[in-house]
Structure 1
């Protein structure tokens, strides 16, 4: 059943010829029920050589722009055509609001002041509305509906991918969910706490100290998989104590060591954050981030940032700190003048009721995916082990919840989960391993032919090397031979 709108209109249509081939691009607006709410803007790409299938892309951050319908799936391969070039009809939307062009990309939360726009984005209502309208246009163009419909997204798009499997189990035949921010409210509370920690006098580790931490962790843990190659393949076995980097007497004496307040910040980022109250979604904590995430100065924007959080929030602070600032201003208090540093996620006071409500909208944490499985759905779940914005521990938590509900054997019949060593958030910056994997072909074979993924290989897009893609909780151990070849590694636990 479709969700309510007040209709829609195609606003533009044009024939396009580009790297993905020749296709018709149609743009449309879906009108809101609340006249004060913005429209949902969507785009559909209709290839001349249609393969009879469709794929929807998820967004990122606070969305607000239409994802590139000519793009690849998250962690997609460099040596295979993108979905549109393979003949897929592709589609996506801005999730029901348009970003202020003056704001940093995907960091404009001002739409949260409107209830319908908030639910379209955070609860995912725009996903179903976009899917139904896009399939109508595809059917109108080709005279028939797609044989299979897939979804692929990472980060916010990864949460959207899990959301469609949870809420509309028969709407998509297969789903790719990468580094999903599924427990969005829980993560935001942790980000708020970290924002406060990093804003304390002397607590922010600058880029030099972030590099110090990163290099020290790699030096301590790189060889745990049997080879020194710049990739920590066994993050579960990596136990690093940042106090080993303590400056004399805990004072800040330069870039070669950490002061006591800076050690506190590094520990806070890598430690589970628990709040001393109940929230309506049932979440109780956020599991923290790996040392190899926010401590990687090669991608400081997503982790710590290059400058400490402050009021007003600098655009050079970490992405998560800016995300928290927007959330406080427009989702929580709905006061654009609110100083986000004054809101303590451990003691929210009068804002607790609002946090409770938002948790039911933003935490997409239903682990019962059995209806999706009964509908024939298949799910590929993946995360980079060095993600600096969405914790891989969080995705592992969700996976274990699904197994606890459905049982291990039933889960294996519809779900595969991979943690990619060395990969970070969306291959941003210069990760130790820039992941490339043809997950779409693996998903197609599973959905359309019943062949479950097996013996998968991930390519490092920047270092011309391969690694086995191990099913969680496995990781690749070196067993001899060319360290650049996946055949030289074996998945182990």
Structure 2
């Protein structure tokens, strides 16, 4: 069962079913030809150009579509997919993950996270971008080295440019604008979703934000450096190694499973349980295969606490939540034989090339981060990247609807930040009752970051359907009670 936040929002609509039905979609019902698609190669776009246009044949449950590749200057690669038949008259734009840089990567993963495919299958015209640069993989931030234009495009501008190019292609192909425009993203895509509500408040009828990494300088620079330093000894060796996360997770579940009144293998809210891992301490505090050394206990304690300075001030909300242990191998500890441990990699690349106004370069590591001196130095780039401003008044005034979802077992993008953002957004709106009319938060027990790995009972990204929930809210005036899969 999916649990929603106790402060989840309700009520509100922008368009009714009758209003949507009344909208005329010029030439939408007419099947488009390969010649219609090829003609888009000559589409004139200010500060941009089309690089290719071709028809991609239908495959299984994916309809045939006109694939348009374009470039928005200086260097944003964009892909637009236009159904050649049965366009539903709407537009679906997606974000990208990590540092992006790989156009359309999400559509090769088979899920809905940051992927155009789910929208295309429903008849949407869809689009995404590489966010303004080419990277070897989503952990590669070398493109940002002394490159403020690319940092700006990754930060916010690629959202608007992707939309601008896509709207031009839609108008040229179908002869009219879409009735609704939606945005969906998770992780960095979730940050982009929040950025869309702030920078482009009238652009989208509805926005879906999953596990939003909305504060990159706080999360990836400060918090991830804290995580890395806490798990590194004086000799530079990893303290909590692969394998111990299963022991820790079993003890956490033993102490916490019933805290919500049900022993179901899920921790409904990690804030409701206080775990004492001293029960796992090795007899002499030294190393042991089936227990935790004092050093290992210190790592977990620091991870749970989150980053603080010497004065004890919290530098980022919360820490690693209880219940996330099954996913630590991917994000925190790695796995035996290699692989995983992505948090130190993210932190290294971000700190070296993106976090500071003056890039320190490839020699920098998270061990170099100074929790007294460096947080104030992040402010310049925070203004470019971060989307955690809780005042979404302009988006609400435009009638937009926002669905935010986050797994309580997310070990990389802490759910506590999202809850903190929601509380502040309610205050900025003048109270939660007002915020409810436009924004809703769903916290999902047992779910990994963006639901990438299966959690207890198989909970993952395939367990939810936020797009149907958003469609019903915007188009039918039915606010979502949950994000359950559509029947």
Same fold (TM > 0.5)? yes
Which residue of structure 2 aligns with residue 286 of structure 1? 317
- Whether contact under 8 Å (2:223, 2:307) holds in the other structure is yes
The answer (yes or no) to whether the contact 1:27–1:42 under 8 Å persists in 2 is yes
1:445·1:452 contact (CA, 8 Å) conserved in 2?
Answer: yes
Distance 1:223 1:126, change over 3 A: same
C-alpha contact 1:43 1:69 (8 A) present in aligned 2:
no
Q: Is the 8 A contact 2:472 2:479 kept in 1?
A: yes
How far apart are the structure 1 equivalents of 2:250 and 2:367?
Answer: 34
User: Aligned-pair distance for 1:439?
Assistant: 1.3
1:445 aligns with 2:472: yes
Structure 1 position 442, deviation (Å): 1.3
Helix, strand or coil at the partner of 1:292: coil
Alignment-derived partner of residue 28 in structure 2:
none
User: Distance in 2 between the 1:397 and 1:353 partners?
Assistant: 21
Q: Within 2, Cα distance between the matches of 1:429 and 1:73?
A: 13
* Unpaired segments ≥5 residues, structure 1: 33-38, 278-282, 308-313, 467-493
Cα separation, 2, equivalents of 1:358 and 1:284: 17
Check the 8 A contact 1:96/1:120 in 2, yes or no: yes
3-state DSSP of counterpart to 2:135: coil
Gap change, CA 1:368 and 1:99, over 3 Å in 2: same
**C-alpha deviation, 1:45, in angstroms:** 0.6
Q: Is the 8 A contact 1:445 1:451 kept in 2?
A: yes
Partner SS for 1:367: coil
1:262 pairs with 2:296? yes
Which whole-Å CA distance do the structure 2 matches of 1:149 and 1:69 have between them?
Answer: 20
The answer for unaligned runs of 5 or more in structure 2 is 1-44
Residue number in structure 2 paired with 1:187: 219
CA contact (8 A) 1:55 1:88 kept: yes
Residue 88 of structure 2 is matched in structure 1 by 51
SS in 2 for 1:443: helix
Describe the SS at the equivalent of 2:323. Answer: helix
Q: Distance in 2 between matches of 1:204 and 1:237?
A: 28
Which residue is equivalent to 1:117?
150
Match of residue 484 from structure 2: 458
Q: Which moved more, 1:351-360 or 1:415-424?
A: 351-360
- Corresponding residue for 2:188? 156
Whole-Å separation in 2 of the counterparts to 1:134 and 1:117? 20
In the TM superposition, what is the alpha-carbon distance from 1:10 to its structure 2 partner? 1.1
Task: Considering fraction of residues, name the structure with more helix.
Answer: 2
TM-score of the superposed pair, with normalisation by structure 2: 0.82
Q: Is the 8 A contact 1:75 1:437 kept in 2?
A: no
Superposed displacement of residue 394, structure 1? 0.7
Inter-CA distance 299–23: structure 2 relative to 1 (3 Å threshold): farther
| TM-score, scaled relative to structure 1 | 0.81
**Which of 104, 117, 124 does residue 88 from structure 1 map onto?**
124
Deviations 1:412-455 (Å, cap 9, x if unpaired)?
A: 1011101011111122233222242221111111112222112x
Q: Any conservation in 1 of the 2:447–2:454 contact (CA below 8 Å)?
A: no
Deviations 1:140-193 (A, max 9, x none): 111101110000000000010011001111011100000000111111201012
State how 1:214-229 maps to structure 2 within 5 Å: 214-229=249-264
Match for residue 18 of structure 1? Answer: 59
Counterpart pick for 2:370 among 345, 349, 372: 345
* 1:486 corresponds to: none
- Residue in structure 1 matched with residue 330 of structure 2 by the alignment: 301
The answer as to 2:406 corresponding to 1:383 is yes
Q: Quick one: higher RCO (CA 8 Å, sep 6+), 1 or 2? A: 2
Q: Is the 8 A contact 1:44 1:69 kept in 2?
A: no
Higher strand proportion: 1
Question: Does the 8 Å contact 2:67/2:79 carry over to 1?
Answer: yes
Indicate how the Cα distance of structure 1 residues 389 and 341 shifts in structure 2: closer, same or farther if over 3 A, else same: closer
RMSD in angstroms over aligned alpha carbons? 2.6
- CA shift, 1:235, in A, is 2.5
**Residues 253-312 of structure 1, C-alpha deviation per residue, up to 9 Å, x if partnerless?**
22x1111111111111111323469xxxxx94232120222x32x5512233238xxxxx
Deviations 1:314-367 (A, max 9, x none): 98462111011001221235344313144123134xx66642212222222211
Partner of 2:392: 369
Counterpart residue number, 2:29: none
Aligned residues: 426
How far the C-alpha of 1:457 sits from its partner, in A, is 5.5
1:434 corresponds to: 460
Is the partner of 1:274 in helix, strand or coil?
coil
